């Protein structure tokens, strides 16, 4: 029993088994080629979606001109909407791209790094082909664009999932839609394909207004009819994509509607809560029911659900970056834009150096004060998806340092999605070795810095890989060793599955001290999806499951502190944690949220790791009444949801209102 050599990639043509071949690449791209793109329906397509960072001095236009047959960059990135000097873009690359980035190639001096952005479904593989395969019933000419003027003044941007566009909370005083532009990124729906983006479908305020007028009877708008007309509802029927419950607007609640109501609805959250208990501490100005946020226009982007299904988290990079450029393109150069993103991932460097975080930071820098990006800090504080491993090879290490550490990674049965564990090592950690023991099997041989391998299990196809490059594209400080597992269950007999149960990952260092952070990627259940995802976690007999925070004296490697949305650790964005409105019988912070100050601050950590949110807002009413209330999918409906995704739009609202002066005008 041992590791097998990595294969030659079917798309890139790279011999990944060659020493040093994985260095500098996205390890998820390596895994995708190792398992023959099984996580992506085994079809990479002719063009591979990626997010690219260019070297300083290179413009996106010059990059495109350098190898026009190897890359396709969306028009938005070379349009006036893209701030001058932007060095990040999404792109589709051909097989020749991987030859051009080698030494001597036309793109070698241009491309600093890139990450895979392939979603689980068809969208983005070849947008033109996807459009032909799923033509919307009322699609207008493909490159038509409604003559809608760019937005001025204060604008709120939403990047989320389904949005109830006709909801009364998102109408102006005359009953007209405040949503000026809505871009749905998947291959379904109705409307124009935004020519600058090349995929998805756009609706304007005019489109929404017409649908509302056509479905208004005796002065009452039939919201069901509006959403059916706009391709946002099937009333429970199977969607064209073959998934049941594809449309969140068929249910009583949708995440995007809930979030936008907190950010831009007519009544800020504290004003909704009757009989406020003692200890309630509303921030100044939040009691107003007629603020700028409740009147300003809205630009909303609905992420492709296949992005959510991608448990590697990679395709979110393309969706979010494209969404940010789209929002900017629908506003004039003087508009003040505040964008809320209540989605994220768990794994990553957590030091602000991922490509998407770098792109968001640069966008904010280039746009100045007119762009603000607010993100949820994450809900994984109690989920046991983070471990902090201080290693010391010399002498008798005192706690919390260890000569050797073993992580027990509990991978769930009946998981129809792949599972990923990222081990982040700081610069200079060349002496760390990693050994893996699959459930019910003998240990696989340890792999050293720069070594990689795949384990075939009982088949001729890989069910596990350890990809351990000297440096990676997914972060800039140190490196990441990726442990990738196939799904543990499939109805398809031809799909390779990995054993479920406790996978042991043992870390040792031959010299010096080094701190390793282990992050399990998000793999939770997506409501309404046919595929079943089950979140894996760490187990440790020393871990106190009843505690609210980590105790420094507890020797467990599993640490709540450090569990954080991995796209929310940038320097120029705002990460929001969740607190309780009142807490006479409990702590101020919601149990699931990162908090400040860090209760585990004395523990050794990698340089630059972000563990505390930049801001806070309400996620729970009190320790017993979890969650807060906001709009359901139909006018007048109220639902209760909890999470930092409820907290972030409240900060988005406050930032928009105070962007110029205290009055928010």
Q: Domain segments of the chain: what residues? A: 35-118, 131-379+606-657, 386-559
DSSP code at position 54: E
- The CATH architecture to which 386-559 belongs is Sandwich (2.60)
What confidence score (pLDDT) does residue 1 get?
74
DSSP code at position 615: E
Give start and end residues of each alpha helix (H) in 622-663.
644-657
What whole-number distance in Å separates Cα of residue 628 and Cα of residue 638?
10
For residue 71, give both structure tokens.
Answer: 């890359």
Residue 248, pLDDT above cutoff 90? no
What whole-number distance in Å separates Cα of residue 122 and Cα of residue 127?
8
Instruction: Tell me how crowded residue 110 is: count the other CB atoms within 10 A of its CB.
Output: 23
Indicate yes or no: pTM above 0.85: yes
For tokens 């938005």, the residue is 76
Output phi, psi for 644, to 5 deg: -70, -15
DSSP code at position 505: E
Q: How far is CA 41 from CA 125, 159, 346, in A?
A: 12, 26, 24
Contacts of 80 by beta carbon, 8 Å cutoff, 6+ apart: none
CA dihedral 110, 115, 120, 124 (to 10 degrees): -20
In contact, 387 and 503? CB cutoff 8 Å: no
In contact, 438 and 465? CB cutoff 8 Å: no
Residue 271, pLDDT above cutoff 60? no
The three-state secondary structure class of 144 is: coil
Q: Which CATH code is given to the segment(s) 131-379+606-657?
A: 3.40.50
What confidence score (pLDDT) does residue 283 get?
46
What whole-number distance in Å separates Cα of residue 550 and Cα of residue 219?
57
| Mean pLDDT, residues 309-321 | 76
Residue 441, pLDDT above cutoff 60? yes
What confidence score (pLDDT) does residue 107 get?
97
Q: What percent of the chain has pLDDT over 90?
A: 74
Determine how β-strand 574-580 pairs with β-strand 371-376: parallel
Query: Confidence band (pLDDT; 50, 70, 90) for 246?
Result: low
Question: Looking at 138-142, 362-366, 407-411, which range is the least confident one?
Answer: 138-142
**Which residue spans within 185-297 are E strands per DSSP?**
201-204, 216-217, 220-221
| Mean pLDDT, residues 117-131 | 60
């Amino acid at each position: 029993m041992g590791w097998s050599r990595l294969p030659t990639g079917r798309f890139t043509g790279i011999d990944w088994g060659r020493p040093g071949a994985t260095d500098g690449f996205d390890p998820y791209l390596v895994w995708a080629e190792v398992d023959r793109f099984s996580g992506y329906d085994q079809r990479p397509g002719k063009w591979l979606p990626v997010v690219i960072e260019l070297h300083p001095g290179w413009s996106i236009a010059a990059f495109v001109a350098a190898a026009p047959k190897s890359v396709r960059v969306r028009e938005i990135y070379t349009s006036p909407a893209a701030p001058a000097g932007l060095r990040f873009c999404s792109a589709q690359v051909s097989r020749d791209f991987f030859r051009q980035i080698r030494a001597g190639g036309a793109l070698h001096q241009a491309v600093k790094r890139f990450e895979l952005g392939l979603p689980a479904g068809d969208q983005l593989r070849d947008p033109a082909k996807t459009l032909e395969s799923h033509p919307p019933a009322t699609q207008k000419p493909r490159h038509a664009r409604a003559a809608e003027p760019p937005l001025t003044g204060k604008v709120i941007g939403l990047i989320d999932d389904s949005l109830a566009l006709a909801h009364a909370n998102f109408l102006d005083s005359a009953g007209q839609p405040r949503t000026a532009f809505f871009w749905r990124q998947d291959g379904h729906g109705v409307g124009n394909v935004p020519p600058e983006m090349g995929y998805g479908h756009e609706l304007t305020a005019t489109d929404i207004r017409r649908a509302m007028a056509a479905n208004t009877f005796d002065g009452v708008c039939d919201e069901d009819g509006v959403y059916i007309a706009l391709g946002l509802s099937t009333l429970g029927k199977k969607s064209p994509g073959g998934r049941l419950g594809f449309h969140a607007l068929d249910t009583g609640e949708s995440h995007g509607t809930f979030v936008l109501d907190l950010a831009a609805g007519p009544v800020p959250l504290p004003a909704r809560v009757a009989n406020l208990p003692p200890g309630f501490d509303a921030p100044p100005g939040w009691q107003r029911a007629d603020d700028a946020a409740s009147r300003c226009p809205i630009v909303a982007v609905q992420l492709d659900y296949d992005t959510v299904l991608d448990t590697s988290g990679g395709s979110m990079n393309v969706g979010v970056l494209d969404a940010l450029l789209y929002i900017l393109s629908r506003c004039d150069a003087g508009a003040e834009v505040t964008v809320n993103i209540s989605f994220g991932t768990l794994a990553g460097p957590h030091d602000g150096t991922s490509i998407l975080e770098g792109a968001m930071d640069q966008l904010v820098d280039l746009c100045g004060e007119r762009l603000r990006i607010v993100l949820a800090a994450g809900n994984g504080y109690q989920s046991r998806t983070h471990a902090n491993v201080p290693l010391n090879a010399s002498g008798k290490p005192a706690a919390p340092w260890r000569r050797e550490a073993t992580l027990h990674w509990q991978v769930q049965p009946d998981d129809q999605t792949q599972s990923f564990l990222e081990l982040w090592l700081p610069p200079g950690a060349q002496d760390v070795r990693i050994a893996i023991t699959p459930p019910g099997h003998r240990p696989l041989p340890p792999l050293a810095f720069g070594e990689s391998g795949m384990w075939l299990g009982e088949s001729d196809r890989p069910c596990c890989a350890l990809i351990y490059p000297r440096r990676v594209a997914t972060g800039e400080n140190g490196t990441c060793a990726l442990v990738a597992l196939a799904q543990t269950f499939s109805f398809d007999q031809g799909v390779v599955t990995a054993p479920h149960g406790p996978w042991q990952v043992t870390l040792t260092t031959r010299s010096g001290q080094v701190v390793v952070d282990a992050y399990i990627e998000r793999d939770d259940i997506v409501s309404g999806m046919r595929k079943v995802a089950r979140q894996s976690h760490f187990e440790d007999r020393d871990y106190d499951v009843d505690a609210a925070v980590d105790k420094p004296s507890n020797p467990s490697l599993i640490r709540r502190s450090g569990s954080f949305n991995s796209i929310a650790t940038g320097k120029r964005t705002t990460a929001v944690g969740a607190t309780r409105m009142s807490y006479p019988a409990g702590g101020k912070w919601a149990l699931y949220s990162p908090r400040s100050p860090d209760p585990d601050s004395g523990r050794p950590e990698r340089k630059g790791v972000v563990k505390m949110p930049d801001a806070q807002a309400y996620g729970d009413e009190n320790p017993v009444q979890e969650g807060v209330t906001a709009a359901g999918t139909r006018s007048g409906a109220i639902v209760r949801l909890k999470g930092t995704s409820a907290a972030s739009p409240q900060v988005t609202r406050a930032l928009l209102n105070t962007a110029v002066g205290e009055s928010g005008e």
